[in-house]
A and B are shown apart, each in its own frame.
Chain A
Amino acid sequence: MGVILKFTIRNIKEKKFRTFLILFSIMMSSALFFASGAMAGSVGKIIVDRIRNSVGSSEIMIHANEKSASGFMTTAAAEDFDSDMEFIVGTINGEGVYKKEDKETIKINLNGYEFEELQQMNPVILEEEYELQPFQGKKIILSSATAEKLGLGIGESMEMTIDSVKHRFRVVGIAQPKGIFLEDGRSNNAVVPREMLASLYGAKGKVTAIHMKPKDMGSKQELIESLSKVYKRYTVRETIDEEDIKRGASTFNVPFMMMVVMVLVISVFIIYTSFRVITTEMLPVIGTFRSIGATKRMTDMVLLTESVAYGAVGGALGCVLGIGILYLMANMMLTQADRAAGFTATIQYDTSQMLIAFILALVLSVVSSLIPIIKVSRISVKDIVLNNVEKVKRKKAYKLWLGLLLMSVVIIAPRMAPRDITVAVSMVCLILASISVTLLIPYITGLFVRLFEGIYVYLFGNEGVLAAKNLRENKNVLNNISLLAMGISALLIINTISFSVFEEVADAYRTLNYDVELWIPGMDRQKLSLVEKIDGVSDAYGNLMVYDLEIADSTDSIMGVIGAEPNQFADYYEMNIMGDAEKLIKELDKERSIIITNSLKYKLDVDIGESITFRTKAGDRQYKVIGLCETMMYNGQMAIVSDRFLKSDMNLRYYNDILIKTSKAPEEVKENIKKFFGNQDIYITTMDEMEKSNVESNESLFSIFRIFSIMAMVIGIFGVLNNFAISFMERKRALAMFRSTGMSKVQIIKMIFIEALSGGLVGGAVGIFSGVVNISIIPYVMRAIDMPIPIHYSAILLISSLLGGAAVTLIASVSPALKSSRLNIIDAIKYE
């Protein structure tokens, strides 16, 4: 056995590229599996870290909600729990406007704290301080960045407008950009004495939020329940709802896992085909050893050891690489604001995730190599020694039928699957689609060969016809087509989804029929008419909106509910309302009725004529569904009701924003509006800016997805290169034979290139077919994770896939073509 093992090790060393390919595919599979598995945790960690910056070590939080009589509360009732808590910190938030010497106005977020309490919950590190204690009266702590921006130094005074009243503060501290002072370059945070801020808002002794940390973390839920009883009309919750964050983060996980499935399928294929070659090469040696007394078990164990070794080395490397990929992915998840704030990506994973990735590598390697090993094991010693092993397999008809059956399952199952298992079913279908395509490839290639034979005689002459014929039943060509198809399919899926999302974003903005969006405090009819008079504003619309409107007796909510003003709404929104849109919008105003998106119809299982009951400030309110629309706004989780009912039910006093149509360039109008409102706190953006920022935020996410799909393609390309190398070795004799019957070097090169081109084109075409089948599953997956997107196919993408396939094989065939032309005919022909 030691001798066979020695032979195996020598074989591994000799076949460097094959060894690299197997290790690379195992390593990438386990790395991507590990990274995507740990991604949810790391995304969660990023979100938690973001929140922790502002709330420090707070574990329980109390704040007002729509049922609360006021936004303020006292900490008195919470103080009763003092003995159970490490700290109880009351805070009050407000806003001030600072006017610089050049008249530029800067909004300051004011955080009212007792300094000692803040130090306990979320420590501030001061770079400089001046008469900080006692932290009372009009004192302010700024971050070093804000102080620099405002041109203020320690001990200087600053004038700020709070609630339209000017106040003079003294800068008593300049803090390092950490914790509450970690700013994104746009927002400016300041800490002021709590009592002073409360008195400015006429809420002496009161706070807007209470933060607590239990001494015993195990009693957290119990304390939340007890506090809820005391603060009945307020929200008492975990400061950081990890479950909610996990749920949010797991949305990222699904597309990653789909890509991992594709990479795994490609790896299985590569390992399986490589082991077929390994076992074929080992056959004479196995025969020799078996003939002199080695048992089947011994020879099987040698092959299995080789497989386990690949799995172990690939798995270990994969875990290391996985950490790198995870870090890269986490870094890409950071927003520009995060980066501006100096926020760095931290990754989160545990050893169990690493262990699972390692085990996956082992299982992947062993399972993929098992069939070739078992097949070799079944061959009798006599057949091996006498070389009676069937070298060319006949096409088995069952493969065609099995391929077609699996394809039918792939097409039907995701459409029929219940919503809660759609994702799992779709994952299985991705695997089945690849198996099905692999089974069908010999038949599909056969059809293409017939087509090529007809065309190539005119395009490339007889060498073209011979090249086409060579594709038939050529194992390596078929393997190349399979690998290309899987790689192209993976690339196509991600690029089509990303293309669709960008198209949808563009579409979503096309549904918004206005040029500028404005937010100013207290947007009422009076402010609206002021806006209408500004130079360049041709029309303005007060937009009413409620976010995350809860549905009674359910855990569901609707992400965005728009209140439509019957006469103007259609001028500002083009919502793809099915039927007579104008009539339906007018009908909304007659009684409590609602138009929902098709996604919501599917998600909430309601149809036209049925009702949805909302939990509103005025109590439960029933809205009758009177129409359906199709939009990607709020991921399709939105609805339209009349502004009249939304205003009264939700007790809305102000518009959410003012939508503006312009008669001049939106940029110019934006500047006019900014000038008009002078030093008031104002948020204004043009549609172009909004679209750009949305595209940017999608871009970083899709860049990560693209890395996965490109990895799948890279593994596929390496596989293709390997197959070309194997193919050259196996075809040496046939190529020499062509030469002996009069084929010139030029003709050989021409034939090999045409073969490669044809294989690439078939691979590209099958890849497109398989990609389209897989993509057809995606809408069901996306709908199941509440991110429904209609699929848009890009003709350029499809054509480039086809040409890309041909380019890959053409490039991969350069070396074999040159080697073939330099082939020693005698050596190749003479020996069997």
Chain B
Amino acid sequence: MQAIIETTKLYKTFKLGSLDVEVLKDINLTIDTGEFVSIMGPSGSGKSTLLYLIGGLDKPTSGSVKIKGSELSDMKDKDQSIMRRRDIGFVFQFYNLIPNLNVEENVMLPVLLDGKKFKDYRSKLDEILEVVGLSDRRSHTPRELSGGQQQRVAIARALINEPDIILADEPIGNLDTKTGTEVMQLLQRINKEKGKTIVQVTHSTEAADYGNRIINVRDGKVWS
């Protein structure tokens, strides 16, 4: 297997007033292509911070993050943005959909940001909406959808550009058990059938069990 995500000596420190709080300490991690990794740990352990550093949404205090062999800190904002829209798909706990865009438009966002034409992705969109089970909701706006449906829109959006990596931050943290199960089964299917590398942050051991590797983060360190 080839490493798709690599972190080396990764440190992250936040300032809390005059106090420096070390959130991540010396994180060395390798995730291979096609893995479904669950990062677990108590609140404040630094697991979400780790995910955001991997996704390039935040910058490490020191250390290196490589995605598909490219060092994130060497990239300019434009290149990082291109990477986020082509190579990474994000799924958040609170879905983070644009309220005034409908399902289709929300899903197509990474495509549009890539300067591609909507009509060229029509069949791809149909296919993904079919996969996430939202074909009949395509013209609805987020406020007209349930939490589970909104999360499925977020997953569809993460898939539309066929990225190799999907990063999910507490993907079922805001959903009921039944809907949570459905969403996790969907992610598992995507991992298995499409071969996508999935890294999720979760509190839930049930959710973590859908993956094939668990990484524990405690006090800013990885405990295997």
Binding site for B on A (CB under 8 A): 392, 461-463, 465-466, 469-470, 472-474, 733-734, 736-747, 825-826, 829-830, 832
| B residues apposed to A, CB below 8 Å | 48-49, 52, 55, 57-58, 77-78, 80-86, 90, 92, 94, 96-101, 105, 109-110, 112-116, 143, 157
Our pick among A465, A737, A744 for the contact of B77 (Cβ within 8 Å) is A744
A463–B84 Cα distance when bound, in Å, is 17
Closest Cβ neighbor of B92 among chain A residues: A829
* Chain B contact residues, majority secondary structure: helix
In the complex, the answer to whether B86 meets A392 with C-beta atoms within 8 Å is no
B77 contacts across to A, CB distance below 8 A: 744-746
Per the bound structure, the CA–CA distance linking A285 and B217 in Å amounts to 36
8 smallest CB-CB distances across A and B, nearest first, come from A742-B85, A744-B81, A462-B112, A742-B84, A737-B96, A825-B57, A744-B78, A742-B113
Between A and B, how many residue pairs show CB distances below 8 Å?
A: 82
- Contacts A740-B84, A826-B57, A826-B58; is A465 near B112 (CB within 8 Å)? yes
| Additional A-B contact list (9), CB under 8 Å, known A738-B113, A742-B86, A830-B48 | A462-B115, A734-B99, A737-B96, A742-B83, A742-B110, A742-B114, A745-B77, A746-B78, A832-B94
B90 touches A740 (CB 8 A): yes
Question: Which chain A residue shows the least CB distance to B80?
Answer: A744
Contacts A826-B52, A829-B92 given: A469-B100 contact, CB under 8 Å? yes
Given contacts A462-B115, A740-B90, A745-B77, contact A470 B82 (CB under 8 A): no
User: Nearest CB to that of A733 among chain B residues?
Assistant: B96
**A741 adjacent to B84 (CB under 8 Å):** yes
Contacts of B92 in A (CB 8 A): 740, 829
Selected from A461, A470, A738, the residue in CB contact (under 8 A) with B100 is A470
Identify 11 residue pairs between A and B in the complex whose beta-carbon atoms are under 8 Å apart, listed by A's number.
A469-B100, A741-B85, A741-B113, A742-B81, A744-B80, A745-B77, A746-B78, A825-B57, A826-B49, A826-B52, A829-B92
Chain B residues whose C-beta falls within 8 Å of the C-beta of A832 in the assembled complex: 94
Q: A736, A744, A746: which has the most chain B beta carbons within 10 Å?
A: A744
Q: A742-B114, A825-B58 are in contact. Are A737 and B81 (CB under 8 A)?
A: no
A747 touching B81 by the CB < 8 A rule?
Answer: yes
Q: Indicate whether A737 sits within 8 Å of B98 (C-beta atoms), given known contacts A392-B143, A465-B112, A746-B78.
A: yes
B145 to chain A, nearest CB (A): 13
Contacts of B82 in A (CB 8 A): 742, 744
Which residues of chain B come closer than 8 Å to A469, judged between CB atoms? 100-101, 105
Chain A's nearest CB lies how many Å from the CB of B140? 13
A392, A461, A738: the one contacting B98 at CB < 8 Å is: A738
Q: How far is it, in angstroms, between the C-alpha of A736 and the C-alpha of B49 when the chains are bound? A: 16
Name A's interface SS.
Answer: helix
Contact, CB under 8 Å: B112 / A466: yes
Chain B residues with CB below 8 A from A463, complex form = 113
Find the residue from A737, A742, A745, A832 having the highest chain B CB count within 10 A. Answer: A742
Shortest distance between the CB of B141 and any CB in chain A (Å): 9
Contacts of A826 in B (CB 8 A): 49, 52, 57-58
- Chain A residues lying within 8 Å of B112, measured Cβ to Cβ, are 462, 465-466
Cβ contact within 8 Å between B58 and A741: no
> In the complex, what residues of A have CB within 8 A of residue B78's CB?
744-746
Min CB distance A478 to B, Å, is: 12
**A343, chain B: closest CB distance, angstroms:** 61
Residue numbers in B under 8 Å from A745 (CB-CB): 77-78, 81
* B57 contact from A461, A465, A473, A740, Cβ within 8 A: A740
Chain A nearest Cβ from B139, distance in angstroms: 13
Chain B residues lying within 8 Å of A474, measured Cβ to Cβ, are: 100
Residue of B nearest to A824 (CB): B58
Q: Residue on B with the closest CB to A742?
A: B85
Distance in Å: Cβ of A728 to nearest Cβ of chain B: 16
Q: A741 touching B90 by the CB < 8 A rule?
A: yes
Check if B100 sits within 8 Å of A472, measured CB to CB. Answer: yes
Q: Which B residues are in CB contact (< 8 Å) with A830?
A: 48
**Nearest-neighbor residue (CB-CB) of A477 within chain B:** B100
Assess the B96–A461 pair: CB atoms within 8 A.
no
Closest Cβ–Cβ distance, residue B94 to chain A (whole Å): 5
Q: Complex: how many Å from CA A473 to CA B142?
A: 13
Chain A residue nearest to B169 in the complex (CB): A830
B81 touches A461 (CB 8 A): no
Residues of A within 8 A of B84 (CB): 740-742
- Report the minimum CB–CB distance from A457 to chain B (whole Å): 9
Nearest-Cβ distance from residue A15 to partner chain B, whole angstroms? 24
Chain A residue numbers with a CB within 8 Å of B99 are 392, 734
| Contact yes or no, A743 B98, CB < 8 A | no
A392 to B143, CA, bound (A): 8
Cα A463 to Cα B97 with chains together (Å): 17
Q: Which of chain B's residues have a CB closer than 8 A to the CB of A739?
A: 57, 81
Q: B114 — which chain A residues lie within 8 A by C-beta?
A: 742
Interface centre among A465, A473, A736, A826 (most CB of B within 10 A): A826
Residues of B within 8 A of A744 (CB): 77-78, 80-82
Q: Which residues of A contact B116 (CB under 8 A)?
A: 462
Residue of B nearest to A831 (CB): B94
Task: Name, among B55, B105, B109, B143, the residue most crowded by chain A CB atoms within 10 Å (CB to CB).
Answer: B109
Residues of A within 8 A of B157 (CB): 741
Judge whether B94 and A743 touch: CB under 8 Å.
no
Q: How far is the CA of A830 from the CA of B77 in the complex (A)?
A: 21
Complex CA distance for A378 and B82, rounded to whole angstroms: 47
Q: Are A473 and B81 in contact (CB under 8 A)?
A: no
- CA–CA, A826 and B81, complex, Å: 15
A747 touches B113 (CB 8 A): yes
Contact residues in A for B86 (Cβ distance below 8 Å): 742
Partner of A741, one of B48, B110, B143: B110
